[in-house]
Structure 1
């Protein structure tokens, strides 16, 4: 991969339980222990160790979700709300690159002291109706096109919070902010 982009890993989430089930008005199911992590382990073709989608056949090509915090900030502006990235339930939240451009692309993330983790981006991580309840009213619609990308790890590895390098086959600069 030819293009290196410095990014920051701002959030890592691994949840053993799918918490957005049933009707949003009933609220999310309780967490089974801590979900926000300083470090996650990934296994090629399987996902994040300890996450609800690890080795889940129904989630082939969708075991890891990656989203950009800049898109969430854009979502929050017209809603008049600060979007809590953890409420989106995405596994990896990055700052510094256009994550939406990773759909259909190979890429890698490397944190200091670790080998790069290879990924393949697949389809959009489309928002669900839960976003209106857990993020802010109107978030479901506002997150369309900014919900991140579903991907699979193609190598074993580790990600940690903090600085990282995103390697891609083409540039993935952030879009210009709206005027």
Structure 2
């Protein structure tokens, strides 16, 4: 199996036990629960991120982990990447290119931040919603179309940490 690797940086990790965006964007988000930003996350194969609201939820097995490219935020003044509410935010790779399309399956890729590789199967795009205009800034809902990240299913147990990492796309 061919593969290609590159160095990336994991700039944000988020595990959220509750959904912060309920109701209408004009009402504003719910207060951020304590402990959502992390310096590391524990990944469980087929289940997701330990402590996250989508962990072990059958309806979200193929979308338990969302990976996002921090460069997509640059046109908005590079706000705090946690505001996107994506689980893993990295810099150095256009992650949206790995999502499944009409004529192709999503890619298999791995991230290794020093504790061994964690394989993720990319499935569908993580399309932005109107809440992005509230959390990231005006125009983010439209500006992040096609750059909202990728919903993935984890294939390995492991740990991911903030900082340098190797992203390998398996072909």
Q: TM-score, normalised by structure 1?
A: 0.88
What does residue 97 of structure 2 align with? 101
Query: Tell me, what secondary structure is at the counterpart of 2:72?
Result: helix
| Separation (CA, whole Å) in 2 of partners of 1:28 and 1:155 | 33
Q: TM-score, normalised by structure 2?
A: 0.92
Deviations 1:90-138 (A, max 9, x none): 00001111111121000000012x1210100000000001011111111
Match for residue 82 of structure 1 among 69, 78, 82:
78
Give the Å deviation of 1:32: 2.5
Contact 2:71–2:91 (CA under 8 A) maintained in structure 1: yes
What is the Cα-based RMSD across aligned positions, in Å?
Answer: 1.2
Aligned length: 164
Q: Tell which deviates more after alignment, 126-135 or 54-63.
A: 54-63
What does residue 159 of structure 1 align with? 160
Give the Å deviation of 1:27: 1.2
Unaligned runs of 5+ in 2: 100-105
| Separation (CA, whole Å) in 1 of partners of 2:32 and 2:142 | 26
**Counterparts of residues 4-19 of structure 1 (less than 5 Å):** 4-19=5-20
| Separation (CA, whole Å) in 2 of partners of 1:145 and 1:9 | 20
User: Which runs of at least 4 in structure 1 moved beyond 3 Å after TM superposition?
Assistant: none
| Separation (CA, whole Å) in 1 of partners of 2:95 and 2:79 | 17
Unaligned runs of 5+ in 1: 171-179
**Counterparts of residues 37-116 of structure 1 (less than 5 Å):** 37-74=38-75, 76=76, 81-103=77-99, 104-112=106-114, 114-116=115-117
Contact 2:48–2:61 (CA under 8 A) maintained in structure 1: no
Give the Å deviation of 1:152: 0.8
